[in-house]
Amino acid sequence: IDATSLGWGTRVKGFIACFAIGCLCSLLGSCLLWVPKKGLMLFAAFYTLGNIASIGSTLFLMGPMKQLKRMFEPTRLIATVVMLLCLILTLCSAFWWHKAGLALLFCILQFFALAW
């Protein structure tokens, strides 16, 4: 088992790379918001992908099971559910409902749930 696990240095590099990709995707999504016609869909997709990558970056430090256990602790359960629900609703509002205001609202709620 020890031969297949990542060393601490590799974990930190994976965390930094995944977090940087997440920040880049979120920033790119914000810039793509102003593209005519498809901007809202590109924004929602890249912003959501960026948040998922940023959350996934901590998997390198803690491991997947510990991350899931900590996310669903009673003190973090509401924030986790709100964040996951807002991820889905952001994509729904952009791709199916075509409501820019709702997509932006759900992105703001994603940010606050992540900060919480």
What is the mean pLDDT of the segment spanning 34-56? 91
DSSP for 64-94, please give it. Answer: HHHHHHHHTSTTTHHHHHHHHHHHHHHHHHH
Dist CA 24 CA 19 (whole Å): 9
pLDDT at 82: 95
Q: Which ranges of 1-116 would DSSP assign to H, the alpha helix?
A: 8-32, 39-62, 64-71, 77-95, 100-115
Percent over 90 (pLDDT), the chain: 62
pLDDT for residue 33 is more than 80 = yes
pLDDT at 62: 86
pLDDT at 115: 85
Spans of all domains in the chain: 1-64, 73-115
Read off the pLDDT of residues 58-106 as tens digits, 9 standing for 90 and up. Answer: 888 888 888 899 999 999 999 999 999 999 999 999 999 989 889 989 9
